[in-house]
Amino acid sequence: MLRHSYYEAACMELGVPYEVIDISGAYWIDLIQKSSCDLFLARPFVLNTKGKAMYDERLRILSEELNKSVFPSVKSLWLYESKRRGADWLKANDISQPETWVFFDQSKALDFAENANLPVVFKTDIGSEALGVQIVRDRSQLFELIKACFGKGYLPSRHEPRDRQWNCIIFQDFIPDAKEWRVVRIGNSYFGHRKGKVGDFHSGSKIIEFDDPPHDLLDFMRNITEKGSFKSMAADVLESSDGKYYVIELHTYFGCNEPNVMLVDNKPGRYLFDDKDGWLFEEGEFNRNASCNLRVEYVLNCLQSNEPRVKD
């Protein structure tokens, strides 16, 4: 199923008129200017660095120069599928993450490799489902990765052969014996579940463990999304053995193989935050069409409340 098809299904189910515009085409600005849409739901499908660059450039023109409302926000879409940008944004906003090092200089990366505590996590900038992620336990392997990234380039598994990532390398502190949570905010609805592990990785395992997310984890996610003004965001969060939380990735869109993102006592639903009563669970089906129904309902409410621009 094409990624934007979930939005089409949501609009049809909710009775919302829509049209589909391909912004990769040569006449995309003409199509936007002729459109009668009040808001544009952006659904990038990032397979490579070329596609990522195209979406980032054109979504910024759409929002800032054509002055169109875009959801999710251009900022959250700019962060999407870029581990490097995500790490810098977390650091700039004082949000806890495993210590992360981003190098654009080979000699500095080699200096780091000489004395780095192993194991260390290697990451490419683009790559989902743990593609382009390795846990490095051998120092010689560390040097080989640096040589590749600053030489002919590093090719993540299943990536297009010409799309090598080069002249940058990302390392992250390895946190042993950690649980991993996927925590989600869409509009004012919150969800969470634990991610099962296959081998070294939780990401890409496609295993969901429906534990009730702790309320302090929901508080952590609320703080992240309030700082970024995000209304469509998922965070992959490690919970260390001493109960501390560390964000490892942010995703404005995310995959889920189950019809529901969260079950509490085997019941689907969402959490809502109340200033007086705190976190309140509401039972119901809120994740239809990969949660696009919920996204459309949120932006409709914003438009109906006469907000001048929907902001994420």
Give me the CATH number covering residue 253: 3.30.470.20
| Shared domain check, 116 and 41 | no
Domain that holds residue 37: 5-79
Is the residue at 88 inside a domain?
no
In a domain, 204, yes or no: yes
Helices 139-149 and 106-115: angle between axes, nearest 10 degrees: 170
Q: What is the pTM of this model?
A: 0.92
Write down which residue in 79, 107, 129 finishes a domain. Answer: 79
Residue environment code for 12-24, b if the CB has 16+ CB neighbours within 10 A, otherwise e: eeeeeebeebebe
> How many whole angstroms separate alpha carbon 100 and alpha carbon 137?
17
Instruction: Give, for all 312 residues of the chain, the pLDDT tens digit.
Output: 567 999 999 999 999 999 999 999 999 999 999 999 999 999 998 778 888 999 999 999 999 999 999 999 999 999 999 999 999 999 999 999 999 999 999 999 999 999 999 999 999 998 766 678 999 999 999 999 999 999 999 988 777 788 888 899 999 999 999 999 999 999 999 999 999 876 555 455 568 999 999 999 999 999 999 999 999 999 999 999 999 999 999 999 998 878 899 999 999 999 999 999 999 999 999 999 999 999 999 999 999 987 655 654
Calpha distance 26→230 (Å, rounded): 30
In terms of domains, do 166 and 235 share one?
Answer: no
Return the half-sphere exposure (C-beta side, CA atoms, 13 A cut-off) of residue 147.
6
> pLDDT for 6-44, tens place per residue?
999 999 999 999 999 999 999 999 999 999 999 999 999
In a domain, 89, yes or no: no
Phi/psi at 273 (nearest 5 deg)? Answer: -100, 130
Residues 13 and 39 in one domain: yes
| 161 domain residue, yes or no | yes
Per residue in 122-173, pLDDT tens? 999 987 666 789 999 999 999 999 999 999 999 887 777 888 888 999 999 9
Each as own residue / partner, the long-range contacts of residues 3-6 (CB below 8 Å, 24 or more positions apart, any chain) are 3/43, 3/45, 3/253, 4/43, 6/43, 6/289, 6/290, 6/292
For residues 130 and 189, membership in a common domain is answered with no
Which single residue is written with the structure tokens 């490690």? 238
188 and 266 within one domain: yes
How far is Cα 122 from Cα 129, in angstroms, rounded to an integer?
14
235 shares its domain with 292: yes
Domain membership flag for residue 93: no
Q: For residue 92, is it within any domain?
A: no
Q: Are residues 263 and 284 in the same domain?
A: yes
Are 158 and 186 in a shared domain? no
Query: Based on the domain organization, do 199 and 107 belong to the same domain?
Result: no
**Judgement on whether residues 222 and 300 belong to the same structural domain of the protein:** yes
Tell me the backbone φ, ψ of residue 189, rounded to 5 degrees: -100, 140
Residue 205 included in any domain: yes
Assigned domain for 250 exists: yes
Burial category of 132 from C-beta neighbours within 10 Å (exposed 0-12, middle 13-18, buried 19 and up): buried
Do both 280 and 207 map to the same domain?
yes
- d(CA 102, CA 159) in angstroms, rounded, equals 21
Domain count within the chain: 3
Asked if 252 and 273 sit in the same domain, the reply is: yes
Domain boundary among 114, 148, 173: 173
